[in-house]
Homo-oligomer: A and B are copies of this chain.
């Protein structure tokens, strides 16, 4: 009677959200300091001080009617210009404001893009492990998610990718740096990927979901997709770079170099309208205009990553060193992520089962946490490891 699919989605929740809610409840029961919560990618470092300054200044010194008023549906023009300028300066991205659409964050960017592109039955390829909501977003837009495995280093398996492409393929989503594996795709990987995509007869779009773009370790350079493939669309959020996940601000950038850029951008505008977005939050848009080129101080993530790799390695856990994002994707000692995550709970450690990411042998550990919590959690990890001996 009601919409069964949406009722089901509301009842089951995402595994991550479920664990997040469990964590909140558990902390209330036994004290915040006794729960080691590695469940959610909620940045643990504050935004740069310039964010506070810009917000204060905007609220104090702007005309409130203009500041809080509707913007154009695609976002304030000067904001879009600052986003394009920033990306062109840093990546030679070849973008322009007329093809940027401000959104309520990366999830909105993805649902809007998918609803712009897909017709019922179209296929969208992703590489496992992948952010589980891709499936939800894709199916709501009428598409079918096709999962292609990655290799043991969480890089795309190009041979399997080639075989997965077919006449129904409409888009490929990449997510580098990757949630949950932390893998980063280098330039050669992107080149190989787009070479394969370009062989298809029909247009296939490359959607780059890159909220972790600025979170890269070892100085690795991120290849910006518009420089490698015409039919590319960038979905971004300032959630991680500026530590503003709750504020919901990001964008879709359509590569102006593709022939049908006008039509794709119109589809983005139309999808935003049909989904009920109206415009991205206006105060946050103005904030982006002032802070687009900045990031939070990520040194805590670097420290956490190093400490975790060292200690978890010592305890005997297996993982691939992440090159970006703030996740460690850990192999379950018994080969089952679900039972591993469940057992971790009895040590008050919250880890997300990898099954939802398409890798049921793993769990995801978010290390965007305080150093202090991480240090306190180490004995629990040690005990967890020993429980498998």
Contact = CB atoms under 8 A, between A and B. Distances in A.
Interface in A228-280: 243-248, 260, 263-271, 273-280
Of the listed residues A10, A11, A112, A266, the one surrounded by the most CB atoms of chain B closer than 10 A to its CB is: A10
A286 to B, nearest CB: 9
Given A2-B263, A6-B115, A281 B278 contact: no
A369 to B, nearest CB: 11
A72 B17 CA distance: 8
B73 A140 contact: no
A267 B5 CA distance: 8
A104 interface: yes
Given A3-B118, A276-B275, A64 B52 contact: yes
A152 interface: no
A100 interface: no
Contacts of A186: none
8 contacts: A2-B267, A3-B115, A6-B274, A17-B73, A69-B245, A246-B283, A248-B278, A283-B283
A16 to B, nearest CB: 10
Number of copies: 2
A65 interface: yes
A125 interface: no
A127 to B, nearest CB: 21
B246 A276 contact: no
Interface of A: 1-11, 13-14, 17, 20-21, 24, 40, 42-47, 51-52, 55-56, 59-60, 63-65, 67-73, 104-105, 107-112, 115-119, 133, 136-137, 139-141, 202-203, 243-248, 260, 263-271, 273-285
A249 to B, nearest CB: 8
A140 B136 CA distance: 16
A245 B46 CA distance: 27
A68 B270 contact: no
B51 A65 contact: no
B271 A68 contact: no
A12 to B, nearest CB: 8
B270 A1 contact: no
Given A10-B273, A11-B266, A46-B65, 11 more contacts: A2-B116, A3-B271, A6-B270, A20-B72, A43-B69, A51-B64, A105-B278, A108-B278, A109-B276, A246-B281, A283-B283
B276 A108 contact: yes
